[in-house]
């Protein structure tokens, strides 16, 4: 029954496969235990500041790092820091950068990259994403099996409010930076994020406190939270279709 529903939601096309996070706490909330390949996914920062915007980009980089093949990353602002992406598992020699003049061109390159079919993932940084544009991206991803990740970045509050509007993305995520994990000695521990799965087709919404992507693109459950009882685990609720 679930497979039939997923096929209908995908416009009659069967899923191209799934990419697990490798973290049971997260994967159990996703249909088939991972992110759908050949689909569009959305990631945004929890606020409109630079820190949360960076966290959302690194979250996307960790996902892209675990795909196979080259990754096309489309931007309209020249502020992407390649060494930071490498720390999240996405090596510089795997990334093809497209610097566009405006978001309209970013969306065009995003769609063309998805339709190419020879890439592991395509990432596009945009402030606004309409239902029409997101549907085009979703259909392009479905046609080739390439994963698309829309990183929502905005400069003003009005653009941040646009994230509440519906899109055709299969999953929507929001990532907020938290104080880093404590160390037994002086120093800076592994960064932590508050990760919210705010929409998931045929799946569940939930939120998690996690340690940021490592050099393999993998998230981790903080040691001081790993032994929590089920009653104190992150809340969950059924996703809206």
**What is the pLDDT, as a whole number, of residue 46?**
85
- Mean pLDDT of the 78-106 span: 94
pLDDT at residue 230, as a whole number: 45
What are the beta bridge partners of residue 138? none
pLDDT at residue 51 in the model: 80
pLDDT score, position 77: 86
95 has pLDDT over 90: yes
Least confident of 12-16, 148-152, 237-241: 237-241
Q: What is the pLDDT of residue 4?
A: 52
pLDDT at 15: 57
pLDDT by residue (tens digit) across 157-167? 666 667 778 99
Does any domain span residue 163? yes
- Which range marks the domain in which residue 104 is found? 2-179+191-238
The per-residue pLDDT for range 218-238, each reduced to its tens digit, is 999 998 776 654 444 444 444
Question: Over the stretch 182-225, which tens digit does the pLDDT of each residue have?
Answer: 776 655 678 999 999 999 998 889 999 999 999 999 999 998 77
Domain count, the chain: 1
Q: What is the pTM of this model?
A: 0.86
Does 184 reside within a domain?
no
Please indicate, yes or no, if residue 74 is contained in any of the structural domains. Answer: yes
% of residues, the chain, pLDDT over 90 = 68
The answer as to whether 151 is a domain residue is yes
Average pLDDT of the segment spanning 7-36 = 81
The answer to the question of residue 216 being in a domain is yes
Q: How many alpha carbons lie under 13 Å from residue 58 in its C-beta half-sphere?
A: 28
- Residue 186, in any domain of the structure: no
CATH code (residue 234): 3.40.50.300
Between these two residues, 8 and 103, which has the higher pLDDT value? Answer: 103
Please check the confidence at residue 155 and state whether its pLDDT lies above 90: no
pLDDT at 130: 94
**The token pair that represents 82 in the structure block:** 């390649």
pLDDT of residue 116: 94
The rounded percent of the chain whose pLDDT value lies above 70 is 81
Q: Does residue 185 sit within a domain?
A: no
State the Cα–Cα distance between residues 37 and 144, nearest whole angstrom: 9
- pLDDT at position 68 over 80: yes
Q: Is pLDDT above 60 for 240?
A: no
Average pLDDT, the chain: 86
In this structure, is residue 171 part of a structural domain? yes
User: How is the chain classified by DSSP, letter by letter?
Assistant: -HHHHHHHHTTTPPP--EE--S-HHHHTTSGGGSEESSSEEEEEESSSSHHHHHHHHHHHHHHHHTSSS-EEEEESSS---HHHHHHTT--GGGEEEEE-SSHHHHHHHHHHHHHH---SEEEEEES---HHHHHHHHHHHHHHT-EEEEEE--SSHHHHHGGGS----SEEEEEEEEPPPP-SSSS----EEEEEEEEETTSEEEEEEEEPP-TTS--B--HHHHT--GGGSPPEEEPP-
């Amino acid at each position: 029954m679930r497979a039939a529903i997923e096929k209908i939601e995908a416009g009659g096309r069967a899923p191209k496969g799934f990419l697990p996070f490798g973290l049971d706490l997260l994967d159990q909330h996703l249909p088939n235990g991972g992110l759908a390949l050949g689909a569009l996914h959305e990631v945004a920062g929890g606020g409109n500041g630079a820190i949360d915007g960076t966290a959302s980009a690194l979250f996307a980089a960790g996902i892209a790092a675990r795909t196979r093949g080259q990754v096309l990353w489309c931007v309209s602002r020249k502020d992407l820091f390649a060494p930071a992406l490498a720390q999240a598992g996405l090596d510089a020699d795997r990334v093809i950068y497209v610097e566009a003049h405006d978001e309209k061109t970013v969306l065009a390159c995003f769609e063309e990259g998805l339709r190419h079919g020879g890439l592991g993932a395509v990432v596009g940084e945009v402030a606004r994403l309409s239902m029409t544009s997101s549907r085009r991206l979703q259909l392009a991803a479905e046609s080739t099996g390439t994963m698309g990740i829309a990183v929502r970045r905005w400069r003003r509050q009005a653009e941040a409010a646009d994230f509440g509007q519906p899109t055709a993305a299969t999953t929507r995520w929001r990532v907020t930076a938290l104080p880093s994990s404590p160390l037994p000695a002086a120093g800076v521990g592994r960064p932590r994020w508050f990760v919210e799965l705010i929409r998931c087709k045929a799946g569940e919404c939930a939120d998690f406190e996690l340690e940021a992507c490592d050099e393999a693109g993998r998230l981790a459950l903080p040691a001081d939270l790993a032994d929590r009882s089920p009653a104190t685990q992150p809340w969950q609720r059924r996703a809206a279709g």
